Structure 1
Amino acid sequence: MILLHTTRVRRRRLGVAAAAAGLLATMLAAGPAAAVPDPGDATVRESISASESAETRSAIRDGEIPGVDEVVHSDNIEHVTNIPKAALTGTNSDLAFQGRYAFAGNYDGFVIYDISNPERPKTVSQVLCPGSQNDITVSGDLLFLSTDSSRSDNSCNSTSQPATEKSSWEGMKIFDISDKKNPKYVAAVETACGSHTHTLVPERRNVYVYVSSYSPNAAFPDCQPPHDGISVIKVPRKSPEKSAIVNFPVLFPGEGPDGGGNPGSPTNPGVSKTTGCHDITVLPSKDLAAGACMGDGILFDIEDPEHPRVIDRVQDNVNFAFWHSASFNQKANKVVFTDELGGGGAATCNAEIGPNRGADGIYDIAGKGDKRKLVFRSYFKIPRHQAATENCVAHNGSLIPVKGRDIMVQAWYQGGVSVWDFTDSSKPKEIAYFERGPLTTDRLSGGGSWSAYYYNGYIYSNDMAKGFDVLKISDRRTDAGAKVRMHELNVQTQPDYFDDFDD
């Protein structure tokens, strides 16, 4: 049995005493919060009540939580190294991998790291190209970057401009990364409502890009309601300048100005209205995709990548506020959906919120073909309560490729990095963790791990505030994963770990 050295009994009290005066008492007065999607889109409250601040300092003194910036972890996790943010000072976001390189998104652009020696990663290049949230993927010589903020044009020198202006631009940017030291911007495709995230469906000659975006407004010329689908972009590998939108499949057909997705409040108080998708994960080897779409979770068939087709759709109007992301297990008979309660800018990992909100939802896939259904089994949330000054909620993670077990590493913002086992869908359990103490004790400030992914034997975490972390887990339950060597990894394009790669 691995020892997890935290004082859990005491931690479970965090958030109770100050709840009436705190952010969450207001946010959850009538049930789960209406999520404000993602830190870049939310205004993070910069002050907390005196009682919340006192509770945080007391918890640090009593050893219930780590001190400010203190690093703690389970005995089976090693903190190998950290590279602080340098030229790009914006919020760190997602990660992608190819060969000996890691690609790290940042609201100011992206960074390429050489991780051939994971214990001593080196910065290869930093590209300034502002535009939240700069969700990032790679395929061959191409790098893809999402822009989900209204800009004056599609260049990397653009400035902010209101979405009410017809000339404003949001969408996908494409770079040539054949020279990692000198990436070249080669193409752009404007998409309705921008590109909050995107997902690749690679083929030999082309790459299809599923663009997720949302929150239309009648006052926005390029983001009109109903926005009830996704943009599909076709990118010719040899001629990326010819990239173009080839379809906009409607995933939530229905009458009315908002389509047929979850109506949210007031019908379902505290649940986000579905006006598009937040993130999609594809499993090309099984022709499957899972979509986390604000107020809905969906399963669809992507045998024809230009025309994805919905198989099943589920809602959780009790505990899920904002369906944020999705992950398949290796056998493709389960999906883990995450709920980003509070939009990533709130302290939701405490006793007041409890274990079922701001958590993962584990669903089995039952049946075959078009009769497959998503069947809810359980929730998982990290068992270590965080302070009122720490934004914490379920966020981006990936499988650790171990045959016969379903094990995932996952980011939880200031809740840190968690490794957990969901082989038994009804009884998930944490087996390892890494975290830092709060950034501050006197205000709620955004930070922590945005993405935590397993790649070729190591865990890589992109911390919003602290930079690029490398971790190593040593545990008999996960050690076999280090034998699986991948040539490329975009987590939202899940590989078949034991067929696509050598093990």
Structure 2
Amino acid sequence: MRNWWLRSCLAVTTVAATLAATALPAAACGEDDKPAAAAQATGEPGAVKNVQAVGNLPDAQGAISLAFLRYGHRDVMAVSGQFGLKLYDLTDNPAAPKFVGQLAIPGLWETENTEVDPERKLVFLSRDPRAFGGTTHNGESGIYVVDVSTPEKPVQLSYVKVPAGHTTSCVNDCRYLWTGGPAKADDQPADWGGRPIWVTDVRDPRHPKVSPQPIELARNDGKTDYVHDVQVDKNDVAWVSGRGGVRGYWTDGVHPDPVQGRMRRATAYAPVPYAGGGVAETAAPSKFMHNSFHPANRRDDGAWRGHDLVYATEESFVDGCAGDGVLTISSLEGSYHGEGWKSTPDKPFRLRTVGTWGVAGQEGSDPKSGDCSAHYFDIQDKVLVQSFYAQGTRFLDISDPTNPKQIAYFRPADAASWAPTWHRGYVYVADNKRGIDILKLTA
């Protein structure tokens, strides 16, 4: 059996569930090279409401992330995980995908947030330094570039060493990659709290070029710290999440730079700050934001109609489940003039919290079944679907962002839910133990 219980952070913090917002933050994401103890389903046998499980791919056990590609009329799902890369054809029946091809890289870690280039039919897989028995102290990290122009025969085009490797994300239409995390290596600056972002030019996918100079420094009240992931919105603003909050950047075009106080051209190597900053400690005590979503060109309903919001997850593990990481919803108002880049410990800037949601104590939850931290999520219309590790997959009505409401859940007794994605009316869940669960919301 694969080590399904290895979490994206490989870190557990032992602190009281009553951790105060002003106390020392729970450790998160990459601070410990030792794997956490396996979560045991010792409570309820499981819980399901308003969800139909229509399919499962057990041969994808060890799955961590997934993405979709179109080949004319063909619909293909790319699944990455501890096995490497597997591809499935969903064309005939999206509830029963057919395995078509594989690039075997057994022991790969971690490939979180697998990115695909839909035009060039490429998949980018990140290698964490803890892959193949390595450690964050001195393990090798990098990026695999895989050609999936023929899904039945995926081909590795290249592999390049990168000083970071927990996640890698496309910017500028996948001509460049931003790669970040995890905890810093022994040969990196002692005052870093984690690895920032390195930029890789993949315009020639057979010969990637890594910039020697990292970016997104001084993100945590002036300290260079752990960048976990990057999500690009529909306006092509890249939102960078990690310890210290969520900050958005223009990566192309000419824009006003609120930090430098002038107009300048944004590039993947020298992005222009847009908005964002730290999330209030009352909402996210650890200050560690795992991933985010900015609904560009959309204004939310409810009490915050007409306001610009950013959704993010805190990844944090504490004893007893009650203090584990939550979904946070913050207003970007007051952050458009570089406030998030000027924040210091003496004069901290924090985004205003609009709403939060955590799985502890919610219907369908079982604190005995293990990790309860928030993880990846996806949004379709007004329904947000999110993974909460052993607490399974949760569906939230976010029509009023000040009051997210659970409307459905799917928590098998052996859940290790990492990443859900909406696609063709279904939700495909990368579950590190179960493979891929295919769900249909029935509410």
Please say if 1:454 is aligned against 2:403: no
Give the AA of the match of 2:199.
Answer: V
Match of 1:176 in 2: 147
For residue 415 of structure 1, report the CA deviation from its aligned partner: 1.1
Q: Which of 130, 137, 151 is matched with 2:115 structurally? A: 137
Aligned partners of 2:13 and 2:26 also within 8 Å: no
Q: How large is the Cα RMSD of the aligned pairs?
A: 3.2
The correspondence of residues 83-482 of structure 1 with structure 2, limited to 5 A, is 83-85=57-59, 91-99=62-70, 100-116=75-91, 117-129=93-105, 130-135=107-112, 136-139=114-117, 140-149=120-129, 159-161=132-134, 169-192=140-163, 194-203=164-173, 207-217=175-185, 219-220=186-187, 226=192, 229-236=196-203, 239-246=204-211, 248-253=213-218, 261-262=220-221, 275-283=225-233, 285-303=234-252, 304-306=266-268, 307-310=270-273, 311-318=275-282, 319-321=284-286, 322-331=288-297, 333-342=308-317, 349-350=321-322, 353=323, 357-366=324-333, 370=337, 374-382=351-359, 383-384=362-363, 385-400=365-380, 402=381, 406-437=382-413, 439=414, 447-475=415-443
Match of 1:13 in 2: none
State how far apart, in whole Å, the 2-side matches of 1:244 and 1:416 are: 39
Match of 2:26 in 1: 34
For residue 133 of structure 1, report the CA deviation from its aligned partner: 0.3
Give the AA of the match of 2:27.
Answer: A
Q: Sort the Cα spacing of 1:46 and 1:247 in 2 relative to 1 into closer, same or farther, 3 A.
A: closer
Aligned partners of 1:196 and 1:212 also within 8 Å: yes
Q: Structure 2: 5+ residue runs without aligned partners? A: 1-11, 253-265, 299-307, 341-350
Percent of aligned pairs with the same residue?
22
State how far apart, in whole Å, the 1-side matches of 2:190 and 2:83 are: 27
Q: Sort the Cα spacing of 1:78 and 1:150 in 2 relative to 1 into closer, same or farther, 3 A.
A: closer
State how far apart, in whole Å, the 2-side matches of 1:42 and 1:163 are: 10
For residue 27 of structure 1, report the CA deviation from its aligned partner: 7.3
Give the AA of the match of 2:29.
Answer: P
Q: State the secondary structure of the residue aligned to 2:111.
A: strand
Match of 1:81 in 2: 55
**Deviation per CA, 1:6-56, whole angstroms, max 9, x where unpaired?**
xxxxxxxxxxxxxxxx985557667475223179955223599xxxx9xx5
Structure of greater Rg: 1
State how far apart, in whole Å, the 2-side matches of 1:427 and 1:164 are: 42
Q: Sort the Cα spacing of 1:250 and 1:457 in 2 relative to 1 into closer, same or farther, 3 A.
A: same
Q: State the secondary structure of the residue aligned to 2:102.
A: strand
Tell me the TM-score normalised to structure 2 length.
Answer: 0.76
Give the AA of the match of 1:188.
Answer: Y
Q: Structure 1: 5+ residue runs without aligned partners? A: 1-21, 58-65, 152-158, 254-259, 264-272, 440-446, 476-503
Q: Sort the Cα spacing of 1:468 and 1:287 in 2 relative to 1 into closer, same or farther, 3 A.
A: closer
For residue 252 of structure 1, report the CA deviation from its aligned partner: 3.3
State how far apart, in whole Å, the 2-side matches of 1:470 and 1:326 are: 23
State how far apart, in whole Å, the 2-side matches of 1:33 and 1:372 are: 23
Q: State the secondary structure of the residue aligned to 1:399.
A: strand
For residue 113 of structure 1, report the CA deviation from its aligned partner: 1.5
| Pairs aligned (count) | 381
**Deviation per CA, 1:110-131, whole angstroms, max 9, x where unpaired?**
2211122122111122322132
Q: State the secondary structure of the residue aligned to 1:388.
A: helix
Q: Sort the Cα spacing of 1:141 and 1:42 in 2 relative to 1 into closer, same or farther, 3 A.
A: same
State how far apart, in whole Å, the 1-side matches of 2:145 and 2:98 are: 24
State how far apart, in whole Å, the 2-side matches of 1:250 and 1:334 are: 25
State how far apart, in whole Å, the 2-side matches of 1:41 and 1:126 are: 29
State how far apart, in whole Å, the 1-side matches of 2:372 and 2:176 are: 33
**Structure with the higher fraction of residues in strand conformation:** 2
Aligned partners of 1:208 and 1:305 also within 8 Å: no
**Deviation per CA, 1:144-193, whole angstroms, max 9, x where unpaired?**
00000256xxxxxxx5456666xx6311110111111111111122111x
**Deviation per CA, 1:78-109, whole angstroms, max 9, x where unpaired?**
110111136xx5x3211111121111121231
Aligned partners of 1:113 and 1:123 also within 8 Å: yes
**Deviation per CA, 1:56-89, whole angstroms, max 9, x where unpaired?**
55xxxxxxxx31xx4x3223x2110111136xx5
State how far apart, in whole Å, the 2-side matches of 1:23 and 1:161 are: 21
State how far apart, in whole Å, the 1-side matches of 2:184 and 2:387 are: 29
